[in-house]
Chain A
Amino acid sequence: GAVVSQHPSRVICKSGTSVKIECRSLDFQATTMFWYRQFPKQSLMLMATSNEGSKATYEQGVEKDKFLINHASLTLSTLTVTSAHPEDSSFYICSARGSGWASYEQYFGPGTRLTVT
Chain B
Amino acid sequence: AQTVTQSQPEMSVQEAETVTLSCTYDTSESDYYLFWYKQPPSRQMILVIRQEAYKQQNATENRFSVNFQKAAKSFSLKISDSQLGDAAMYFCAYRSAGLSGGGADGLTFGKGTHLIIQP
Is chain B found bound to chain A in the same assembly? yes
Residues on A facing B (Cβ under 8 Å)? 32, 34, 36, 38, 42-46, 49, 51, 59, 91, 93, 95, 103-106, 108, 110-111
Q: Cβ of A111 and Cβ of B106 under 8 Å apart? A: no
Q: Is the CB of B107 within 8 A of A51?
A: no
Q: Whole-angstrom distance from the CB of B105 to the nearest CB of chain A?
A: 7
Provide a sorted-by-A list of 16 A–B residue pairs whose CB atoms are within 8 angstroms.
A34-B107, A43-B110, A43-B112, A45-B109, A46-B108, A51-B104, A59-B106, A93-B43, A93-B45, A95-B106, A105-B50, A106-B106, A108-B44, A108-B45, A110-B42, A111-B44
Q: Which residue of B lies closest to A91 (CB)?
A: B43
What is the interface residue range for chain B against chain A? Answer: 10 to 19
A49 — nearest CB in chain B belongs to which residue? B106
| Chain B residues in 8 Å Cβ range of A43 | 91, 109-112
Query: Is B106 a contact partner of A34 (Cβ separation < 8 A)?
Result: yes
- By the criterion CB–CB under 8 Å, are A46 and B107 in contact? yes
Within 8 A of A (CB), among B1-52: 35, 42-45, 47, 50
B102: interface (CB < 8 Å): yes
A69–B43 Cα gap in the complex (Å)? 22
A117 to chain B, nearest CB (A): 21
Cα-based distance from A36 to B107 in the complex (angstroms): 9
B104/A49 in contact, CB under 8 A: yes
B residues near A105, Cβ cutoff 8 Å: 35, 47, 50
Chain A residues positioned under 8 Å from B104 (CB to CB): 32, 49, 51
What is the CB-to-nearest-CB distance from A15 to chain B, in angstroms, rounded to a whole number? 24
